[in-house]
Amino acid sequence: MPRILAIDYGIKRTGLAVTDDLQIIASGLTTVASETVIPFLKDYFAKEEVIKVLIGEPKQMNGQPSESTPIIEKFVADFKTHFPEMKVERVDERFTSKMAFQTMIDSGLKKKQRQNKALVDEIAATILLQDYLTRKMI
């Protein structure tokens, strides 16, 4: 079965997570510099079968688009230009970074390790993807 990939796009870094072959478990894939995410994905899609990509949709607490929305929209348009056949689904990414940081604390990572923003982005993408999988099963 093909995988589902989640993208937590940011100005500097982009966290990526992917499902297992059965689309049951989400795992962190990596964090890449945002300017290299399209070439990274071209290479990844050539090696792995991916059926759908989830892209985080930043929103404010009141549900309105956040200030980073135009940046994400530009990325989504660029993604669709490079991968026109790929199914894209936008998902609410509110609280994923905070949840990622709390996950790092709960798992016992030391303060120095918790300052690794790349790891926070990767965990946020994993949370986004696992939440999607959980809702899909209900």
Q: pLDDT of 62-108, one tens digit each?
A: 767 667 788 999 999 999 999 999 999 998 765 566 665 566 556 66
Per-residue model confidence (pLDDT) at position 12: 93
Burial 48-65 (b: 16+ CB within 10 A, else e): eebebbbbbbbeeeeeee
- Other Cβ atoms within 10 Å of 77 Cβ, number: 9
pLDDT greater than 60 at residue 137: yes
Domain annotation for the chain: domains and CATH numbers = 3-137 (3.30.420.140)
Q: Please tell me whether the overall predicted TM-score, pTM, comes out greater than 0.75 for this model.
A: yes
Task: Region of 59 please: left (phi>0), alpha (psi -120 to 50) or beta.
Answer: beta
Query: By percentage, how much of the chain surpasses pLDDT 90?
Result: 54
> Residue 123: pLDDT band by 50, 70, 90 thresholds?
confident
